[in-house]
Amino acid sequence: MNILLEAFQQSFDLVFNFDKDLFEILFLSLRVSLVSLLLSCLIGLPLGTILAIKNFWFRDSILIIFNTMMGLPPVVVGLIVYIIISRSGPLGWMGILYTPTAMIIAQMILIIPIIVSLSAQIIEEIQLEYKNLFKSLVISSQDAVKAYLFDARYSILTVMLAGFGRAISEVGAVIIVGGNIDHLTRVMTTSIALETSKGNLSLALALGIILLLIALTVNFLLIRLKITAKRRSYV
């Protein structure tokens, strides 16, 4: 019980004393997660849209692969990315191992399947609903896709928040490819792992509380979005 109280006290102190190290770690966590989310959306949303609206013979197989990849163990992703970008790996010449770029790549591999699978599901549903109307209106497929994406905006936002939740709370992959280097690749989750291994449980817990608050905020936004969308019958 004492350790919990101590952890709460410490997390308050860290936040309200604007602890430089903490905020550096926090900002790096947010930067890595947001950049990987943005890049994942740039790749995942068009891919999800194509899978939803185009019918080609291996479409279902691709969807099954992405659905399976949603449950990828982060450590396995970290290990694969590590092998690829390590000095002896095929992309070793890029020299990005133990950099935030490597962490972004690893997180993208974890987020893209979520964005692809869920957005494909959402857009397919809306496409089936609008199909006959749009065909009757003789609208171009480009305008139809714009309408699908616009009308699915609330659902897509919730998918993005789910992707962000996965990224910000992930530790296995970023610790392998980032190396948890102080002032360079140390993020919230890797700091928690480090402090725990050092036996500094109250600091680890304090960081955990801050991380939980971020996750809580994301989930709160997610629920608010869902409620608003449902109330307006936009989902």
Task: Provide the 3-class DSSP secondary structure of residue 166.
Answer: helix
Task: Kindly state the smallest distance separating residue 128's Cβ from another protein, in Å.
Answer: 10
Nearer to another protein, 155 or 190 (CB): 155
Q: Is 234 in the site for another protein (CB under 8 A)?
A: yes
235 touching another protein, by CB under 8 A = yes
Residue 63 amino acid letter: L
Euclidean distance between CA atoms 74 and 80, whole angstroms: 10
Residue nearer to another protein on the CB measure, 85 or 126: 126
Nearer to another protein, 20 or 231 (CB): 231
Sign of CA dihedral 95, 44, 50, 63: positive
Supply 86's token pair: 């390590």
Q: Which is nearer to another protein, 133 or 181 (CB)?
A: 133
The radius of gyration of the chain's CA atoms, rounded to the nearest angstrom, is: 21
Per CB under 8 A, which of residues 132..161 are in contact with another protein?
132-133, 135-139, 143, 147, 151-152
Q: Give whichever of 2 and 136 is closer to another protein, judged by the CB atom.
A: 136
Select from 13, 21, 60, 129 the one that contacts another protein (CB under 8 A).
129
Q: How far is CA 97 from CA 104, 157, 170, 176, 216, in A?
A: 11, 31, 18, 9, 31
Q: Which stretch binds another protein (CB under 8 A): 34-42, 110-118, 122-130, 191-199?
A: 122-130
Q: Least distance (Å) from another protein to the CB of residue 14?
A: 44
Q: How far is the CB of 149 from another protein (least distance, A)?
A: 12
Residue in 34, 94, 130, 221 binding another protein, rule: CB under 8 A: 130
To another protein, the closest distance from the beta carbon of 141 in angstroms equals 13
Give the long-range contacts of residues 37-41, CB within 8 A, separation 24 or more.
Answer: 37/111, 37/160, 37/163, 37/164, 37/167, 39/104, 39/108, 40/107, 40/108, 40/111, 40/112, 40/114, 40/115, 40/163, 41/115, 41/160, 41/163
Closest CB to another protein among residues 5, 133: 133
Q: Under the rule (CB under 8 A), what is the footprint of another protein?
A: 126, 129-130, 132-133, 135-139, 143, 147, 151-152, 232-235
